[in-house]
Amino acid sequence: MKHSISIFWRLKDNHYKIYVTKCGDCGRVAPLKRLKCPYCGSRNVEHIESRGFGELINYTVSYYRTEGSEQYLPRVVGLVKLDEGPVIIGEITDVDLNELSIGTRVEAVLRKYSSEDPNGLIYYGLKFIPVIKK
């Protein structure tokens, strides 16, 4: 996968951390950093860094091939319900396809997103693995 160096760098904080937005009025928690609560529209919101733990609530397996991506295939893309409440999309790594099961506790870890070009930049960001400390 080819990335734009400048876009990736500008979004670095969102690749290295998981943020959620907590509404000071309705109390609900939404994924990502938001200026307004998506549920009640309030601007009384707080950005919180997620601890990065959650539960796998569904997943799909992608065999989609792009040049140079073969080393990482197949990719498992999961829906993770964070302990803070919101559901986010994330890649699940270090898993065998026959072992994958909904309900697995997962934790966010820093991994390579892509590094195919030996002369290019290595793109790092968070993925999920089954929790190490049970």
Partner 1 sequence: MTSSRFRVGIVGWGAYIPVYRIKAKEIARQWGFDDRVTDSIWIEEKAVAGADEDTVTMGWYAARSALLRAGVNPGDIGAVFVGTESKPYAVKPSSTIIADALGISAKKLSTDLEFACRAGSEGIRISVSLVESGAVRYGLAIGSDTAQANPGDVLELTASSGAAAYLVGPADESVAVFESLVTYVTDTPDFWRRDGSRYPAHGEGFTGEPAYFHHIVSAVKMLMNESGLKPSDFDYAVFHQPNGKFPLQVGRMLGFPREKVLPGIVTPWIGNTYNASALLGLAKILENSKPGQRILVAPFGSGAGADAISVLVTDKVLERVGKAPTVEELIARKKYISYAEYAKFRNLIHRNLW
Question: Given the rule CB under 8 A, which residues bind partner 1?
Answer: 12, 16-17, 49, 67-68, 70-72, 93-94, 96, 109-113, 115-118, 122, 124, 127, 129, 132-133
Residue 62's closest CA among 89, 25, 33, 28?
89
Separation between Cα atoms, residue 28 and residue 30, nearest integer Å: 7
Pick 26 or 131: Cβ nearer partner 1 = 131
Measured from the CB of residue 131, what is the shortest distance to partner 1 in angstroms?
9
Measured from the CB of residue 35, what is the shortest distance to partner 1 in angstroms?
22
Is the Cα dihedral 46, 84, 30, 94 positive or negative?
positive
Pick 36 or 113: Cβ nearer partner 1 = 113
The label of the residue with tokens 């999920």 reads: 128
Pick 25 or 49: Cβ nearer partner 1 = 49
Question: How far, CA to CA in Å, does 111 sit from each of 14, 24, 90, 100, 124?
Answer: 14, 33, 12, 19, 6
Measured from the CB of residue 55, what is the shortest distance to partner 1 in angstroms?
19
